[in-house]
């Protein structure tokens, strides 16, 4: 009898999750076919060694993901030592559950999960952080969220102050087997 109840809970929980078919992970790089939206106009920093590194003013953001468990976020970044002032690139996660417009948005305030300074070497360097429990950032299992990067860039007369150049990002999911279900259904399993 309990087995049938567990199957009932799973069948009732699945339709709620199935209505949102957002991916749980992705990989994206600058250039043609990039999936992110952005503020401002990108500036090309370097295009050697098989990667194009760009810097933006403001945020770039990717389409919505679904939290299915902890994630690891990796970013490929590069700086040029000849620059006088280089700032880190900040990677954030932002909750999207209260949005009525679920398109790509750069206006969401996020929480920083990774700051990278890249490397001067050709091709930059990958830096990763994780697995990250997104619930720690207010994004519960099954809920929508987005990953975004925050850039700073100014161009005074002789010195350009900017974030490091960005080439690629990878979000890898470590899915959990926990399934959410309404408490009333779970409670009914244990009534005698």
Residue 162 token pair: 């900017």
Cβ–Cβ under 8 Å, residues 30 and 167: yes
Say what the pLDDT of residue 140 is.
94
| Sequence-distant (≥ 6) Cβ neighbours of residue 145 within 8 angstroms | 64, 65, 66, 67, 93, 94, 95, 96, 134, 139
- H/E segment holding residue 4: helix 2-18
Give the single-character DSSP code of 123.
T
pLDDT at residue 12 above 90? no
Q: Between these two residues, 94 and 178, which has the higher pLDDT value?
A: 94
Cβ–Cβ under 8 Å, residues 165 and 121: no
Residue 124 token pair: 């930059």
Say what the pLDDT of residue 50 is.
85
Q: Which of 82, 76, 75, 67 is nearest to 22 (CA)?
A: 67
Q: Give 142's pLDDT tier (boundaries 50, 70, 90).
A: very high
Say what the pLDDT of residue 102 is.
74
pLDDT at residue 182 above 80? no
User: 3-class DSSP state for residue 137?
Assistant: helix
Cβ–Cβ under 8 Å, residues 57 and 80: no
What percent of the chain clears pLDDT 70, i.e. is strictly above it? 76
The string of pLDDT tens digits covering residues 95-129 is 998 777 778 888 888 999 999 988 888 888 999 99
Q: How far apart are the first and last CA of the chain?
A: 11
Pairing outcome for strands 161-163 and 85-87: parallel
Cβ–Cβ under 8 Å, residues 91 and 84: no
Domains of the chain (ranges; CATH) run: 22-176 (2.60.120.260)
């Amino acid at each position: 009898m309990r087995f049938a109840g567990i199957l009932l809970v799973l069948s009732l929980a699945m339709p709620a999750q199935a209505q949102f078919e957002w991916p749980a992970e992705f990989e994206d790089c600058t250039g043609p076919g990039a999936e992110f939206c952005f503020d401002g106009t990108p500036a090309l920093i370097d295009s050697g060694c098989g990667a194009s590194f760009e810097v933006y003013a403001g945020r770039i953001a990717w389409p919505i993901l679904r939290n299915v468990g902890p994630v690891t976020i990796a970013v490929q970044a590069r700086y040029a030592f000849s620059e006088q002032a280089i700032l880190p690139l900040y990677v954030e996660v932002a909750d999207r559950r209260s949005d009525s417009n679920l398109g790509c948005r750069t206006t969401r305030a996020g929480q920083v999960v990774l700051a990278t300074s890249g490397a001067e070497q050709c091709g930059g360097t990958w830096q990763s952080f994780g697995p990250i429990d997104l619930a720690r950032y207010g994004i519960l299992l099954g809920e929508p969220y987005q990953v975004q990067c925050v850039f700073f860039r100014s161009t005074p007369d002789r010195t350009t102050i900017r974030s490091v150049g960005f080439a690629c990002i990878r979000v890898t999911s470590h899915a959990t087997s926990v399934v959410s279900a309404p408490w009333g259904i779970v409670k009914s399993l244990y009534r005698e």
